[in-house]
Structures are given as C-alpha cells and as structure tokens.
Amino acid sequence: MTRRLALASVLAATLATPVLAEDVVVFAAASLKDALDAVAADFQAETGNTVTISYAGSNALAKQIMEGAPADIFISAAVNWMDEVEKAGLVVPDTREDLLGNTLVLVAHGKDAAPVEIGPNFDLKALLGDGKLSMAMVDSVPAGQYGKESLEKLGVWSAVEGSVAQAENVRAALALVSTGEAPYGIVYASDAVADENVTVVGTFPDDSHKPIIYPAALLTGAKDAADKAFFEALSSDAADAKFTAQGFAIKN
C-alpha cells in the first residue's frame, strides 16, 4: 500500500507541474521486453516523458553501467548482477527491491511438440538427437546460468553439454528455437508467452536451480522526477497486470 500511495503522489506531482519532457533511461534484462515496453508506453502517454530502454543480458548491462554507461534504472534477471552494481556504489540507497519472479521452461519449435517429463536423469540427449539445445550463455547470462544449474542438478548436463548452442541473451536463445535452427531451448516462461512459434513442453523444477528473481533499483545517475516516477510505476497495479499477463510473478 505504501508503494501505491507513493506512486500516486509522484505521478500527481509529475502531471500537475508543466515542465519540459524528460527522458528516463532504463537498462533491463532482455526477457522483460514485451511487458516492460507496454508499461513504458502507458507511462509515456500519461506523462509526456520519454522512456528509452536498452535490453540485453543482465551481465552485459551490469558491466556497461559499471563502466559509466548513462542509465537511470537497472532491472536485472539475477540478484548477483545487481549485487555487483550495488557494490560499485551505483545504486541509490534504499531503492533496490525484488520486483518480479519467473519460471524456467523447455520449449520446442512449432505447435505440435509432445510434452516432456522433466526430472532426474531424463533423456534430453535422446530428445535432441542430432539437434542443438539453445540456451543463453551458460557462464554469464542469468537464464543460461539457471539452465545449466538445473541440468547439472538433474544429472543430464554432461550428456548434452556438447549439443548446447549458446546465445548472447535469452531472447536470442528463444529466436533459435522460433526459427527452427534449434529444436529445443531453455528459456523463461515469460519468453515463451511472447513467441507463437514455440511450445512449452516442460517446466524445470523450482528446486533444481536458484530462485529466479528480478531486482530493480534507481541508479545514482537518476536526477529527474520522471526517473523516480517511472521507477514507482513499475510497482503499480497496471504494471503488475502487464507483467502477470506475460508470465511473470509479482514479488513486491
């Protein structure tokens, strides 16, 4: 309730004061694109301010921020990359919060793929045959790290490691399955919702990997009222509805 009241207050002040339009710069995990674009469009229509969003793997975004890239808000797909930005002194104190959660799924190309029972030692290698398993970069991008961790815990990583096609971020991994270049891939549930050319054939057990959490924070470069207003808007009821529709779980 406190966040909702704060949002109403900030937006009211933003709308009531005739000022020049401001630009909010957001660095966000690639998996957020569809939902966050919708949230930004509503905010722009309501306030007249501009929201510019750079999407990429959380690792790449965090490194860019720490190297001095101008950004007002960071939304990571993993806690560890937000930790790095915070350790560098680039997060405004007391603004960091766990915004969203997600689920890890196995997707297949097309709409007629048979469901897969995912469990200890399931035969993913046989499922792939001569094909590739599309994943985000397994040593640095959160979706790839979660996926590798899950496959290791289930006892199948060693069998499929040589068949993995690594992509620079989770949306790039999804694209390989969507176009049929890879028959299967590991992505977030929210990514699967965004692409009608793939089918979710299985869900990885939550206890096979670390919790998938999206922390968000204002960065020290955020100076404008619009920056703070958009950050508050991320926790509004309207934003919650858009995130939920795309397969995310609300954490705040």
Q: Shortest CA distance to 204 belongs to which of 228, 188, 181, 192?
A: 188
Q: What percent of the chain has pLDDT over 90?
A: 89
DSSP 171-237: HHHHHHHHTTSSSEEEEEHHHHHT-TTEEEEEE--GGGS---EEEEEEBTT--SHHHHHHHHHTTSH
3-state secondary structure of 155: coil
**What's the mean per-residue pLDDT of the chain?**
92
In this prediction, residue 97 carries a pLDDT of: 97
Contact 177, 108 (CB under 8 A): yes
Stated pTM of the model: 0.86
Rg (CA), the chain: 19
Does 174 have pLDDT greater than 70?
yes
In this prediction, residue 21 carries a pLDDT of: 72
In this prediction, residue 9 carries a pLDDT of: 44
Residues 6+ apart with CB under 8 A from 5: none
For 188-222, write each residue's pLDDT tens digit.
Answer: 999 999 899 999 999 999 999 999 999 999 999 99
In this prediction, residue 213 carries a pLDDT of: 97
Rounded Cα distance between 49 and 117, Å, is 47
Does 177 have pLDDT greater than 80?
yes
Band of pLDDT at residue 151, cut at 50, 70 and 90: very high
For 14-56, write each residue's pLDDT tens digit.
Answer: 444 435 578 999 999 999 999 999 999 999 999 999 999 999 9
For 72-117, write each residue's pLDDT tens digit.
Answer: 999 999 999 999 999 999 999 999 999 999 999 999 999 889 999 9
Rounded Cα distance between 143 and 106, Å, is 12
Structure letter (DSSP) for residue 131:
S
Pick from 9-13, 61-65, 132-136, 217-221: least confident = 9-13
Domains observed in the chain: 2-101+212-250 (3.40.190.10), 104-208 (3.40.190.10)
In this prediction, residue 8 carries a pLDDT of: 42
> What does the pLDDT average to over 122-146?
97
In this prediction, residue 5 carries a pLDDT of: 41
Band of pLDDT at residue 235, cut at 50, 70 and 90: very high
Beta-bridged to residue 219, according to DSSP, are 91
In this prediction, residue 17 carries a pLDDT of: 42
Rounded Cα distance between 131 and 134, Å, is 10
The beta strands (E) that lie in 111-183 are given as: 133-136, 164-167
In this prediction, residue 92 carries a pLDDT of: 97
